[in-house]
Structure 1
Amino acid sequence: MMQDKQQFKSYFQIRRGLPNVTRKLVGTDPIVVAFIGGSITEGYGASEPDETSWRALTGSYLKGKYLQGTVCCINAGVGGTTSTFGAHRMTEHVLANGEIDLLFVEFSVNDGEDREESIRGMEGIVRQCRRLSPQADICFVYTAAAKNLSVDIPFNIAVHEEVASHYEVPSINMAAGIRQLIEEGEVQWEALAPDLVHPNDAGYAQYAVYVKAFLEEVLSDRVTDTISPLTMPAPLTIGNYEFGVMLDVGQVEQQNGFELTNEKPESLINWRYDLEHLYSDNPSAEFSFIAAGRSTGLLLLCGPDTGIFEYSLDGVTFHAVNLFDEWCLGAYRPIIAVFQLQADVASTRVTIRNTSQKDERSTGNGLRVLKLLSRIPEAISGVSIGLGVKFGIERF
């Protein structure tokens, strides 16, 4: 496909570049690279996700560039998820084994039309990474889908760029590169992504071309003395998820009618982590837990038998939540429910209760709770890495 290096530069915002990785490339210490995002980061649509996705190809390129050392790659992609969930997953899925050297962030397709929520998620990821792994470089990547190919400045990419600019995070606009190819008649989007979202091997290879070009540009100059010290600016929004975490369901209180199980539901998609969860189909089952800070919520497994549940904050008003959608008809998958933001208070008691109500398409009243979403108070945030669960590190 005919795109030259000069064109590639128009798809990058280099900003501070990757000074940490640039420095490490002259040594022999291991380099840890993490990829957090949705199904496009996970590699859905690739013939071999750990070999032919843009994530895997990027890892292979970095290994080839760092022959004197080891490159360890963390796949923290979870299909169908947003930056809000990504911020809550950082501790467990990215930082559980300690600090990293480079973080790629990909949520421009999955984030929705709520600008403030998108900023809360993306800013939460950046601030959490810089607080818990302060030497790590961060790079945003913007992938293609109909909404990112139809206009000059796609909404979600523009929102993510607000965060990237504020924190001097470099970015790679893969969608702009793909759009240019389409406009020049070099390719049809369907040939690179048959479902118009998830690339095939050819599509992932094209994504990897843009990432490689960016890396060659920013890593070509090994002199980093001119880079100014990194400082944490004031947040764009006070309600961001910098301190968002997932807590084990073992922390629930006053539990009645739920059972703790590791049973894997049939047709489970988008989840390869620990399956321990609370389950009940009893309409009167309930539990409570204490959440800190401005927001809280649940990570649930939703599928064909998912019903409607209710929640209350400090026992005031109960609100019904129906998460059943067309995707629930065929498979179980992780879905988050984030409850309304609260004022800065020390803690909130959250009560969850099942109901006899359900969507007309659902086959039951099942409620499966994988994790509690909460916020680690700033005073103890430095120990939050210890709350993580084990995950696999892929070595390319």
Structure 2
Amino acid sequence: MSDYNKGTDRAAVIVQRRGLPHVKAKLAGEAQVTVAFLGGSITEGAGASAADKTSWRALTALYLRDRFGKSRIRSINAGVGGTDSTLGAHRLREHVLSVGNIDLLFVEFSVNDGSDREETIRGMEGIVRQCRRLSPGTDLCFIYTGSERNLTRIRPYPIAVHEEVAEHYGIPSVDFAAGIYRMLQNGEVAWSTLAPDGYHPNDEGHEIYAGFLRGGLNELLSTEADFLMLDHCESLSEEPLMTGNYQYADMLPFELADDIGDYHIRKLPLGSKLMNWRYATEHRYSDHPNASFTFTVEGQSGGLLLLCGPDTGILEYSINGGSFVRVNPFDEWCLNAYRPVSIHFPRLRVRGPISIVVRNTGLKDKRSLGTGMRVLKLLAN
């Protein structure tokens, strides 16, 4: 018996809406199916003893392979710890859609998204509309994982906001948090034994999550309801919930910048600790005061994806010739490791060309060891 079957299935709250018609039709044949998982550290596999074997993501892929054939299921791990749906929308093209045809995309940001309703909608709606525009054959399913703040009787933020987006676009959802809450109320488990830090499930917790999703997929892939219409799911006819959502979000290479001056290609210092990033870490670096670069994007907003750590300094930016605005990205996490940090500049009212100048101030947080600036990517929407 496979590992994913060690426990019995337990019930989560499953909302079918328009279901998973594309992947269901494809699984009825013999073609290969690609399943991608876009989310934060819980999707990546944090807390599991072996992220690619015992996480809910890995156990879900195992279930699909056992059910439909090992050679037919390709699994893409696009989980990145500490990231929310705003960065998820910017990562979608490079970390998911660039790998080829995606048949099913699970989206999990219910723990990392905050209490800002508008920004949460921009991120989740941006992921949906970007997928519908660039990959209309991709089915989506929202996943809601547990944390101390959302194991409640009343549906909490940001799950309630994610459900607004899911309802608007007919996207099915599987609420792990609601399932865990029921188990807690029934005295079946203690949250502290499933997720000792309050967020990241251990192997037992990941196994329960996988059981929830297994039950959801059994429903979603077996239903014959008439409302599961392929042509409707391909449509982007719905008006957006939020103007300025991240449907055109992207990560761009630094090479598109101009006047880069003292920003040179670097790797992280030898012996550095890296967290929340499994992708390439080659970046552009400068610690020279007033070192600057310029880049232009077409859209409503721009930004930066930085590698921040013990030597991170203070930067400033100017949009379309405006005054420089100072940003200090150093925080308590920088003390011990480097990690990706996204800086999003203010959105403009209408889409158009945006010229952005970024400059190193030569200043630093009092806790920082240096004034460095490490740029992984340029961001655009």
Q: TM-score scaled by structure 1?
A: 0.90
Are 1:241 and 2:242 an aligned pair? no
Q: Find 1:328's aligned residue among 328, 334, 350.
A: 334
CA distance in structure 2 between the aligned counterparts of 1:189 and 1:264, rounded to whole angstroms:
39
Give, in angstroms, the shift of residue 264 of structure 1.
5.7
Give, in angstroms, the shift of residue 319 of structure 1.
0.6
CA distance in structure 1 between the aligned counterparts of 2:259 and 2:329, rounded to whole angstroms:
24
Are 1:250 and 2:255 an aligned pair? yes
CA distance in structure 2 between the aligned counterparts of 1:167 and 1:138, rounded to whole angstroms:
10
Match of 2:43 in 1: 41
**Letter aligned with residue 73 of structure 1:** S
Structure 1 contact 42–78 (Cα < 8 Å) conserved: yes
CA distance in structure 1 between the aligned counterparts of 2:306 and 2:44, rounded to whole angstroms:
20
Are 1:372 and 2:374 an aligned pair? no
Structure 2 contact 312–368 (Cα < 8 Å) conserved: yes
Match of 1:392 in 2: none
Instruction: Could you list the structure 1 runs, at least 4 aligned residues long, displaced by more than 4 angstroms after superposition.
Output: 223-226
Match of 2:4 in 1: none
**Letter aligned with residue 369 of structure 1:** V
Structure 1 contact 264–275 (Cα < 8 Å) conserved: no
Give, in angstroms, the shift of residue 181 of structure 1.
1.1
Q: Which runs of 5+ in 1 are unaligned?
A: 376-396
Write out aligned runs for 1:292-311 (5 A).
292-311=298-317
Give, in angstroms, the shift of residue 150 of structure 1.
3.8
Write out aligned runs for 1:312-327 (5 A).
312-327=318-333
Deviates more, 1:58-67 or 1:227-236: 227-236
Write out aligned runs for 1:57-72 (5 A).
57-67=59-69, 70-72=72-74
Structure 2 contact 20–228 (Cα < 8 Å) conserved: no
Structure 2 contact 303–379 (Cα < 8 Å) conserved: yes
Structure 1 contact 84–120 (Cα < 8 Å) conserved: yes
Match of 1:378 in 2: none
Deviation string 1:131-150 (CA, Å, 9 cap, x unpaired) is 11111110000000111114
CA distance in structure 1 between the aligned counterparts of 2:60 and 2:351, rounded to whole angstroms:
43
Give, in angstroms, the shift of residue 151 of structure 1.
5.0
Deviation string 1:145-185 (CA, Å, 9 cap, x unpaired) is 11111451111000100000000000011001111111221
**Letter aligned with residue 227 of structure 1:** L
Match of 2:89 in 1: 87
**Letter aligned with residue 11 of structure 2:** F
In percent, how many aligned pairs have the same letter? Answer: 53
Are 1:19 and 2:21 an aligned pair? yes
CA distance in structure 1 between the aligned counterparts of 2:298 and 2:322, rounded to whole angstroms:
17
CA distance in structure 1 between the aligned counterparts of 2:300 and 2:211, rounded to whole angstroms:
41
**Letter aligned with residue 157 of structure 2:** F
CA distance in structure 2 between the aligned counterparts of 1:139 and 1:259, rounded to whole angstroms:
41
Deviates more, 1:305-314 or 1:146-155: 146-155
Match of 2:369 in 1: 363
Match of 1:135 in 2: 137
Change (3 A) 1:264 1:356: closer
Are 1:260 and 2:265 an aligned pair? yes
Q: TM-score scaled by structure 2?
A: 0.94
CA distance in structure 2 between the aligned counterparts of 1:15 and 1:224, rounded to whole angstroms:
10
Q: Find 2:171's aligned residue among 169, 172, 191.
A: 169
CA distance in structure 2 between the aligned counterparts of 1:339 and 1:67, rounded to whole angstroms:
46
Write out aligned runs for 1:124-273 (5 A).
124-221=126-223, 223=224, 226-228=227-229, 229-230=231-232, 231-232=235-236, 233-263=238-268, 266-273=272-279
Structure 2 contact 38–108 (Cα < 8 Å) conserved: yes
Give, in angstroms, the shift of residue 224 of structure 1.
6.8
Match of 1:114 in 2: 116
Structure 2 contact 85–109 (Cα < 8 Å) conserved: yes
Structure 1 contact 29–69 (Cα < 8 Å) conserved: no
SS at match of 1:356: strand
Matched residues, number: 370
SS at match of 2:213: helix
CA distance in structure 2 between the aligned counterparts of 1:69 and 1:28, rounded to whole angstroms:
10
Change (3 A) 1:345 1:100: closer
Q: Which runs of 5+ in 2 are unaligned?
A: 1-6
CA distance in structure 2 between the aligned counterparts of 1:343 and 1:26, rounded to whole angstroms:
46
